Amino acid sequence: MSKRGSKPEEVVKKPLKKILMIHGYRQTEKSFREKTGGLRKSLKNQADFIFCEAPHIVLKREDEFGEDSNQENIDEKGWWFSSENKSYNAQLETNCDLGFEESLQYLDNVFQTQGPFDGILAFSQGACLGSVLCKISKLNQTDEINKFKNIKFNFAILVAGFKSGQTQHDFYYEQKIDFPTLHIIGETDKVIPKDMSEKLLNYFVEPKVFVHTGGHFVPVNADAKNSIINFLNSIN
């Protein structure tokens, strides 16, 4: 309590954490921005969110009548493909990662031109990619040889994440990744089943986990918000 006549003590606000937002397969920067609007609003005093967009266009889907199911005719994007016909299946193990290298080069440039970032928040295929980025960032922090030198950050929030099924990515998971992570898992996720996200936990040292009752989306309820705030507060 300040003395009479003295100036009140100023409350020092913590600087906002700068977080790179990485969308999922068949999303765009715009769609991910819209889907996370509620969460970003609730965390406006915690973080500043910067969005990016995958460099690869995903082939449009057709409905049972052969019509384009993307009614808004928006190019959906992906970070890489698991088959040569430019499709992606998270649950298959393959040796095809078409476009993966280009996405890492793109993100390396994002980190160089729009960073530095304190952390990332990534969803679905983006969260799978995020697990790889954690390893790359860790390599950069320890000065090990790595071509993507600009990818550096301090924490990751991985929503509906999973280990990459591309066999050439096994290198990134050979040793447990000692990196601060919060894994958000949907109890009823039908796209990335809960057990896939739980398996990813095995590749991190002391991962923090929040499980929600919903499906394949970024949860915005109070418990989810509090789990993220508590995690962010734990980061120095």
pLDDT digits (tens, 9 = 90+) for 106-121: 999 999 999 999 999 9
CA-to-CA separations, 158 to 94, 143, 216, in angstroms, rounded? 23, 25, 13
Mean pLDDT of the chain: 90
Of residues 93, 88, 92, 118, the one with CA closest to residue 103 = 88
Instruction: List beta partners, residue 19.
Output: 49, 119
Instruction: List beta partners, residue 211.
Output: 185
Structure pTM?
A: 0.89
**Residue 129 scores a pLDDT above 70:** yes
Residue 55 near residue 191, CB atoms below 8 Å: no
pLDDT digits (tens, 9 = 90+) for 177-223: 999 999 999 999 999 999 999 999 999 999 999 999 999 999 999 99
Angle between helices 125-141 and 100-114 (to 10 degrees): 60
How far apart CA 156 and CA 131 sit, in angstroms, is 8
Domain 17-58+76-234 has CATH 3.90.110.10: no
Catalytic residues: 124, 189, 216
What mean pLDDT comes out for the span 75-102? 96
Exposure of 220 in the CB half-sphere (CA atoms within 13 A): 11
